[in-house]
Amino acid sequence: MLREHLPDVEVWAYGSRVDGRSHDGSALDLVLRGPGLKEIDLTRLADFEQALHDSTIPFLVEARDWARLPERFHGEIEREYVVFRLGTGAAKERGWRPLPFSEAVQVNPLARLEQGREYPYVSMADVTAGNRSVSAHVHRIYAGGGSRFRSGDTLMARITPCLENGKIGRYGSEGQPVVAHGSTEFIVVRGRPGVTDSDFTFYLTRWEEVRAYAIGQMTGTSGRQRVPTGSLAHLLVSVPPLDEQRRMAHILGTLDDKIELNQRMSETLDAMVRALFESWFVSFDPVRARTRDGDPDVLERVAGLFPDSFAGSEVGDVPSGWEVVPLTEIMDVNPARRLRKGDLSAYLGMSDMPTRGHAPSRPVTRRPYGSGMRFVNGDTLLARITPCLENGKTAYVDFLATDETGWGSTEYIVMRPKPPLPTEFAYCLARSSAFRHFAIQNMTGTSGRQRVSATALSHFRLPAPPVEIAAEFGVVAGDLLNRASLAARESQALRALREALLPALLSGSLRVDGTRELRR
């Protein structure tokens, strides 16, 4: 609305929603500072106020013209305010240039690929909301279609609900060829030489003002809406000088560097837990270590807990004495959890379910309980619907308050080991290749809406480990996952800081001087 009706006006927010004294019914107080601090045309003000009146903003917005306010109010406002939006006039005074988005950056720029050759391929599932870097996990032959990009380019999802969910990332080709291709549903964005830095371009594309504008331009049938690439030519953005862009990108990039370091640490610890599960309960390495075909030094501390021979079974050779049982004999599937309708509780949506690692990348929100699967700390959540199951959306719940019950999508299956099995056992099982293959093979339903049922999973059979081995696994796995969770929680805090800084920097309400310090 400000962009449409008052593009040249600087906007400050003040009052209770700025100083922390607000409540649900508080108004958002704005003061409008026209070019040269002169009075704003009354017709333009009336049009803006009518747009506010017609909008769906869930609280009252009071907008006042700075030039028409009594002088005594100016001092009160200046004591505590936030620059809500930098007008084009003020931006020009600071050397910022107002440019159409498609002139500030390159949209779908050239990247040379040869048809018939194999290149890294990035799918939509490879882009995680809230994460900066995007990597290709497969190679595919380039046939001439889809998006093309090179290292450093920004990939923005253009289709619903991926764009609304924040699927915007930057392709990084560490250890891979510089050029790649990917989904047809990406808009590729690159810095324009002499105008925008590519690091800054990524954060500009992630800015909520740009994303909200793109979402508002979507066209098409419900559920398959897309952003027309040409619509970005009508979005006006303020572009700071290159040196200021680089300082902004340095600040935000330093946070992302630490987030990615924590993420790698968390994923490594997670992988260690799953590797231990694979070794003990799938490959049975400690048993092999006790046979003459194995290495007698492998897992010497725990090898004595395992038998020294195998026995045949319906699922292949298993350690002697281990009984093969159906899943529901050692695990509760969709156990009962107490949560009353309307209770405000932690909510984990499908879009925030991790595909790698055990923890959501973003903090859970709180919503009144309506309908959905309920869970507590120690439960494992498995997405049961296509393509989420195939993409590996699985979480281990350790992010709730003590004794809290959370809830989420109806498309989750909740798993909880029965004692004495440790809770981490269910998470590792849900991540294991054999279990995932079984779940995917047992999906039913129409194309595009297939899902696996809890009943189908109950037929999965596996060897049940003895109490002593289960307890030993729980000690090691619990420590590793706890350390992974600490790294994940720190990253969530850093993401929150980044999300607060990004709009403040790009709107101009926070400035960066030559020593890389922030100032209002």
Instruction: Give how far Cα 184 sits from Cα of 122, 162, 304, Å.
Output: 10, 13, 55
Q: What is the predicted pLDDT for the residue at 518?
A: 47
Give SS3 for 222: coil
Q: What is the predicted pLDDT for the residue at 20?
A: 75
Average of per-residue pLDDT across 55-59: 82
pLDDT at 167 over 90: yes
C-alpha R_g of the chain: 27
pLDDT at 279 over 90: yes
Paired tokens of 356: 């790698």
Phi, psi for 257 (deg, rounded to 5): -60, -45
Residue type, 68: R
Q: What is the predicted pLDDT for the residue at 515?
A: 40
In this structure, are residues 375 and 408 in contact, taking their beta carbons and an 8 Å threshold? yes
Question: Maximum distance among all alpha carbons in the chain?
Answer: 92
Average of per-residue pLDDT across 505-519: 66
In this structure, are residues 106 and 192 in contact, taking their beta carbons and an 8 Å threshold? yes
pLDDT at 294 over 60: no
With the CA atoms of 214, 219, 224 and 227 taken in that order, what torsion angle do they form, in degrees rounded to the nearest 10? Answer: -30
Paired tokens of 310: 């195998």
Q: What is the predicted pLDDT for the residue at 517?
A: 44
- How would you classify the pairing of strands 406-408 and 344-348? parallel
With the CA atoms of 511, 514, 518 and 520 taken in that order, what torsion angle do they form, in degrees rounded to the nearest 10? Answer: -40
In this structure, are residues 44 and 17 in contact, taking their beta carbons and an 8 Å threshold? no
Spatial distance between the Cα atoms of 455 and 107, rounded to a whole number of angstroms: 48
When comparing pLDDT for 514 and 180, which is higher? 180
Paired tokens of 378: 């120690």
Lowest mean pLDDT among 263-277, 295-309, 326-340, 473-487: 295-309
Q: What pTM did the predictor assign?
A: 0.75
Q: Which helix (H) or strand (E) holds 432?
A: none
In this structure, are residues 30 and 64 in contact, taking their beta carbons and an 8 Å threshold? yes
pLDDT at 268 over 80: yes
Query: From start to end of 184-330, where are the E strands?
Result: 186-191, 236-239, 310-311, 318-319, 324-326
Give SS3 for 310: strand
Can you tell me which residue has the tokens 């690439």?
Answer: 229
Q: What is the mean pLDDT of the chain?
A: 90
